[in-house]
Structure 1
């Protein structure tokens, strides 16, 4: 039997990148996966089709995060999808992956940009966890995608790093709160990971990015998705409140 047989999972932002790789890996392990997306329905459907080709099960859930009513919309569609595809409203695994980058120099950050990044990366995950608690059974799993940037500096991503530091705090405090229910809550922190952006096709840029970690190569989404899948499994039952560095040893030196 696969490790996640008869489990259900929600992966936010799973139409591409790390979210897609995570959704596919969880499905490969036997979970029914809710593939969340904000606007790219075609890409989300491609994730579902990829899962189904491998013999897995998945369905899409659309909700824009960082706007009024976002969590209500997400859970209305999620509960309907779980009832239809699983026959009950139960969520065993929650992966908060959806995120918004800042990409602004320190002198160019605006209140509007800051508010948007915080709303998507910190506020939405907090209230997604809160809303999920009644339908997560004892022994469930919550995995929040943070970033290696909370441990090293990139001045162009101050707002992003602040928001991801907040999500790490969500993991820490909910881990303590949910411990009596044996629900584990952990953060996974990727480094530079190939998200399909054209910059990864530029040899000089790719060489520079690869040189920042110990393995001297750019991570693929599957490298992070596999770590998430481990934390979602029973093998990780004794790990909670932990910040898992999945950056390939970024900036260890040399």
Structure 2
């Protein structure tokens, strides 16, 4: 049975764990050749091995999205290996949470660099191949934190910036058959939210319970929930959906 993404090539940043891994797995299961980059060499190696053991076509490389040359080199290698770069998912992210008066210059700049500069670097690198092929899907991973969140002045700002970046890409690239959209997750059970629990000094189970209490569907999110939303935007049939932000949070967001 043919998959939705047979013959497509998906490039996912931060694809070795959490939401990124869930996205990579869905694309691979539905027929895409997958490329993932990450700075976590151990996790990248483990995820790559898992995918290859299942018989999937995989490219992986340790690369930092903040370094434009590393990104451009990886994208070039993916194109030369698979013959196209059809889908980009800008998922790589970090948190450096703190209240504003405690937040350091490094806390601020690190988050800006990874989320904003990183997404800029990868989008700029892939667009030339997409333009030449007159086809592309760019999906940026934002967050409900873009609406504001205590202790996340840096992260909230970066994720809001990604939404503006997304809408601008949609305007500039639409005429080339390229769409750009964003998925904004709410509370998702990942290594990153586990780090949040550690930071605030509670168990991960307690953080999940506290979060679920405010989610209308009465459950926490899983990486697969975000992967399904990403797949909708990445689908060839979604060509008239462009410049949109989809909040995937178990309830409405303004």
What is the TM-score of this pair, normalised by structure 1? 0.90
Residues in 1 aligned to 2:100 and 2:253: alpha-carbon distance in whole angstroms = 22
- Counterpart in 1 of 2:225? 223
- Closer, same or farther: CA 250–204 of 1 in aligned 2, 3 Å: farther
Cα offsets for 1:60-116 (capped at 9, x unmatched): 1211233xxx121122133224423x2x3x210000000111211111112222111
- Counterpart in 1 of 2:61? 61
Quote the offset at 1:204 in angstroms. 2.7
Q: Describe the SS at the equivalent of 1:216.
A: coil
RMSD: 1.8
- Counterpart in 1 of 2:142? 146
- Closer, same or farther: CA 54–212 of 1 in aligned 2, 3 Å: farther
CA contact (8 A) 2:14 2:37 kept: yes
- Counterpart in 2 of 1:247? 249
Residues in 1 aligned to 2:115 and 2:97: alpha-carbon distance in whole angstroms = 14
Number of residue pairs the alignment of both structures matches: 244
- Closer, same or farther: CA 43–141 of 1 in aligned 2, 3 Å: same
Task: Answer yes or no: is 1:238 the counterpart of 2:240.
Answer: yes
What is the TM-score of this pair, normalised by structure 2? 0.90
Residues in 1 aligned to 2:20 and 2:138: alpha-carbon distance in whole angstroms = 14
- Counterpart in 2 of 1:27? 28
Cα offsets for 1:119-172 (capped at 9, x unmatched): 111112112211211111322100000001112x32200110101111111110
Residues in 2 aligned to 1:46 and 1:124: alpha-carbon distance in whole angstroms = 23
Q: Describe the SS at the equivalent of 1:61.
A: strand
Quote the offset at 1:251 in angstroms. 6.8
Residues in 2 aligned to 1:49 and 1:251: alpha-carbon distance in whole angstroms = 38
Counterpart among 89, 96, 119 of residue 125 in structure 1: 119
Gaps of 5+ in 1: none
Residues in 2 aligned to 1:202 and 1:140: alpha-carbon distance in whole angstroms = 38
Gaps of 5+ in 2: none
- Counterpart in 2 of 1:78? 75
Residues in 2 aligned to 1:224 and 1:204: alpha-carbon distance in whole angstroms = 22
